[in-house]
Amino acid sequence: MRGVVLVIIAASLLMGCTNLALAEKDLGVMHVGGKVLCQDCTQGWHEWAHGGKPIKGCKVSVTCMDDRSRVMYYASDITDELGQFDIIVNKHIHGKELNPKLCSVRLVSSPEPTCNILTDFAGGRRGVKLSLPTLVYRDVIKYTLGPFYFTNPLCDEPNSTNE
């Protein structure tokens, strides 16, 4: 009896994975979202680590490459008053399907003069590759990233000459 239960559980897990893969293939768009915050190093450690404030008007971009490392898709979005962005990415470009694992999301700019230095916390400066979606439900596939951070000019670290 125990073996039958294990077989049923294994089969349902396999069907769930198959359904996830089919859902991802059938949908024409995917959403890439997250949040952008200002991190202030002039505050105490707790405020610096946990007190990031949302920045309205930041630009965040997604770049998707093809199998030969050529840009296949580029899009960007501006954050709202909560610092949130949601980029809608078409999965089919000129008859070819995008591979989400070849897409990278990064910070581009901040309109805030007191918080406009890119940081690499959560990969915002160098970019973050998409891996697994955080939400697959009916006709929605969403990748949620971040939060990404900008900081103020006083917190800027000079580039090392050894890089």
pLDDT digits (tens, 9 = 90+) for 92-132: 998 899 999 999 999 999 999 999 999 988 899 999 999 99
Q: What are residue 145's DSSP bridge partners?
A: none
Run of H or E residues at 158: none
How many C-beta atoms surround the C-beta of residue 20 within 10 A?
Answer: 14
Average the pLDDT over 84-95 and give the result: 93
Q: How far apart are CA 74 and CA 64, in angstroms?
A: 6
Q: 118 or 163: whose pLDDT is higher?
A: 118
CA gap 117, 69 in Å, rounded: 28
Q: Which residue has better confidence, 145 or 27?
A: 145
Per the listing, tokens 């008859």 go with: 95
Mean pLDDT of the chain: 82
CA 69 to chain centre: 19
Query: Per-residue confidence at 49, pLDDT binned at 50, 70, 90?
Result: low
As to burial, measured by CB atoms within 10 angstroms (0-12 exposed, 13-18 middle, 19+ buried), residue 162 is: exposed
Q: Scanning the structure block, which residue is given the tokens 């809608």?
A: 88
Is the pLDDT at 18 greater than 60? The verdict is no
Identify whether the C-beta of residue 142 lies closer than 8 Å to the C-beta of residue 133: yes
| pTM (two decimals) | 0.76
Q: Which domains does the chain have, with CATH numbers?
A: 29-155 (2.60.40.10)
Report CA torsion sign: 125, 24, 20, 83: positive
- Contact criterion met (CB below 8 Å) for 77 and 85: yes
Q: Please give the sequence-ordered ranges of beta strands (E in DSSP) within 12-132, or none if there are none.
A: 29-39, 53-54, 59-65, 71-78, 84-90, 92-93, 96-97, 103-109, 117-118, 128-129
